[in-house]
Structures are given as C-alpha cells and as structure tokens.
Chains A and B, each alone.
Chain A
Amino acid sequence: EVQLVESGGGLVQPGGSLRLSCAASGFTVSGNHMSWVRQAPGKGLEWVSIIYSGGSTYNADSVKGRFTISRHISKNTIYLQANSLRPEDTAVYYCARALADSSGYHSWFDLWGQGTLVTVSS
C-alpha cells in the first residue's frame, strides 16, 4: 500500500528541538520529491520544506536556518530536524509526496500522511 506515516511530534519547550520522521511505503523517497507542510491550530496550510529526488533541499523563510529536511534512503524515510523552536511553530506537521512539472521543480502534493502534532510551550 502506498502511504506515509509520520512520527516524532510532541511537547517541547521554546528553544528546544525535535526530529520528525516520515516513513514511506509502496514507493521510494529517493525517486520522489518529498515535502513537509504544516497547519497551525485554526489556521491554513503552510509549506515548510522540500527535498528533491536529486537531493537538493529548500526551506520556507519562516524556518530557514532552524529546520533541516533530510532522507535516509535505505530506511525509505524522510526527516525534519526542527531546532530553536518557537511557539508559532506549534502545528500539525504533514509529510507529503510532491509531483512536479517537466522542469522537475514546480511541485504540488499528491500523497499526504496523517500528520504529527508539535506543540511548543513552556
């Protein structure tokens, strides 16, 4: 079955760190673009980070310098290392597979995980 399963969320104090995981099955993360998208309580969707099949990575300005996306090919898993967490990072974090146009970069999301909740609070 093609699916994504996130884990690693929880309660963390401001300034703390978390590593989110997203295990893929039914396809390879190395052959696909993978992304993280979050939804703060009562808010809309916000793109966070992407790792392209070639390995290049990009982050939204709101998390640049604090969050890092990576992948473990043999585990077929992607990660989001979130450092220097702030209360405004509180959200459900979704892992998503990204499809792209012929350039390989313009991406939309065709498969989503169930999400993992990150709460940043003292």
Chain B
Amino acid sequence: DIVMTQSPDSLAVPLGERATINCKSSQSILYTSNNKNYLAWYQHKPGQPPKLLIYWASTRESGVPDRFSGSGSGTDFTLTISSLQAEDVAVYYCQQYYTTPWGLTFGGGTKVEIK
C-alpha cells in the first residue's frame, strides 16, 4: 500500500492568516498517461461526516470556498487555507486513489485550530 504521511499533526493559526498542510506519498501518485495526480483532500469537523474539498490534487469541489487550494505533484502535496476562518477548525485528511480498488489510503490527519 501507498503510505500517506501528513505534517504537521496539528497547527494553530491566527484568524485571517494562512494555514499550510503537507501530505507526502511513499511513491508517486502521478499517472503519466493523463498527467493527473490521484489525490483528494477532506475536511472533518467533530460530529460531522468528512467533506470533500479537493480532488485531482487541485480541483476544488463545487461549493468549497476559494480560500482552500491544493497544489503539488508526484509525491509532495499541499493544502492551503489562504485566510483561516473560525469555521475552518477541523481535521484535514489527504487520500490517494492511485492504487485501487483495494489500496485506497488516507493520511493520518492534521488538526487545525485558531491561535
């Protein structure tokens, strides 16, 4: 299985400041045939189900605020919240879908709090 490693485990950011979450895969999740990175990002708030934010590493899901952006390629990826809002407090997970169907794996999660 591809191992997804997120960093940091947690971070505290002042309101309105930038939050950056990293996700590293143990092998490349870039399909050279279509030049797409098989990576998604989710937001998970307590007592709620996870919510899809980003897929194909950088495509924002419909309805997701544009302060959320995804970047990276190959093995190194980043989720950026450009201006942290109170409602963004959550745990964020990356997920690779390169190895499928039986090898879908998530990162360990990054907890984002207000400083």
Q: Does A105 contact B (CB under 8 A)?
A: yes
A112 touches B101 (CB 8 A): no
With A109-B52, A110-B61, A115-B49: A61-B98 Cβ-Cβ less than 8 Å: no
**Chain B positions within 8 Å of A115 at CB level:** 49
Q: Give the Cβ gap from A5 to chain B, nearest Cβ, in Å.
A: 11
Stretch at the interface among B15-23, B71-79, B103-111: B103-111
A108 touches B52 (CB 8 A): yes
A44–B4 alpha-carbon span in the complex (Å): 12
22 contacts between A and B (CB under 8 A): A45-B42, A45-B50, A45-B93, A45-B106, A45-B109, A47-B106, A61-B102, A94-B50, A101-B36, A101-B38, A101-B97, A105-B101, A106-B97, A106-B100, A107-B97, A107-B100, A107-B104, A109-B40, A109-B52, A109-B95, A112-B49, A115-B49
Which residues of B does A touch, CB under 8 Å? 34, 36, 38, 40, 42, 44, 48-52, 55, 61, 93, 95, 97-98, 100-102, 104-109
Which residues of A does B touch, CB under 8 Å? 37, 44-47, 50, 52, 56, 58-61, 94, 96, 99, 101-102, 105-115
